[in-house]
Structure 1
């Protein structure tokens, strides 16, 4: 089996999470400057076999698309054209940032560590991926 790679896309930073090869465990991979995401992915995919991309889908409480969706759609189009053989699935990402922050508190991270937005993005990507695995 191949890995599944998940994205918590942001205009500044993108959090990444990945499964093990058996697709059982979701783990944080990295937080990458969004401007560098495609060069990062190109290097990563040369060494790892990925069969699916999971991209978070931000929604408002009334189930409509959030403002950031317009940027995510552009990212997805580029993702499709750059890596056409890897399918893309969307997963509702409402509350992932809050859940990530709460997991940092529950994990005993100090206040200074909890202010690390890159870590929040990576944990959010992990929650998105875990949600996909549970729904699968």
Structure 2
């Protein structure tokens, strides 16, 4: 795989965790949490991040039930991924996010951090490449 910069998203209706990573190092790090009042403001902030980091690929966490079946949030995650792909013309990968918020909570020792959860999702993407 060629070296790529990637941004990952832990999608939520109210908050959006964002992480950054590089395919050469295969390491992800939390970047920020986007908390905006409107969808337009959310996409405007995403556009700023895309211009700043210039990723070649995006990753979106896919909410699934513990048994791997779809849940209510699954369709919203898929829709968000399609919106990213359509608006910004970048390839988007969907990665199983089950347990990422609990793992983020263990790492931070506090309430789940959506940016840390996004980094966990991106790390899962990198780990799946090997």
Instruction: Give the TM-score taking structure 1 as reference length.
Output: 0.83
Could you tell me how far 1:38 is from its partner in structure 2?
1.0
**Greater displacement, 72-81 / 95-104:** 72-81
Partners in 2 of 1:23 and 1:53 — Cα distance?
Answer: 16
1:25 aligns with: 27
Could you tell me how far 1:130 is from its partner in structure 2?
0.7
Could you tell me how far 1:17 is from its partner in structure 2?
0.3
Kindly provide the CA deviation profile for residues 62-99 of structure 1, in whole angstroms up to 9, marking residues without a partner as x: 21112111222221221121011x11111111111110
Are residues 22 and 135 of structure 1, via their aligned partners in 2, closer, same or farther at CA, if it must alter by over 3 Å?
same
Runs of at least 5 residues in structure 1 that lack an aligned partner in the other structure: 106-113
Partners in 2 of 1:63 and 1:43 — Cα distance?
Answer: 34
2:71 aligns with: 66
Provide the aligned length of Structure 1 versus Structure 2: 124
Q: Who wins on radius of gyration, i.e. which is larger?
A: 1
2:95 aligns with: 91
1:81 aligns with: 86
Could you tell me how far 1:59 is from its partner in structure 2?
0.9
Could you tell me how far 1:131 is from its partner in structure 2?
0.7
CA RMSD, 1 decimal: 1.7
Partners in 2 of 1:25 and 1:94 — Cα distance?
Answer: 19
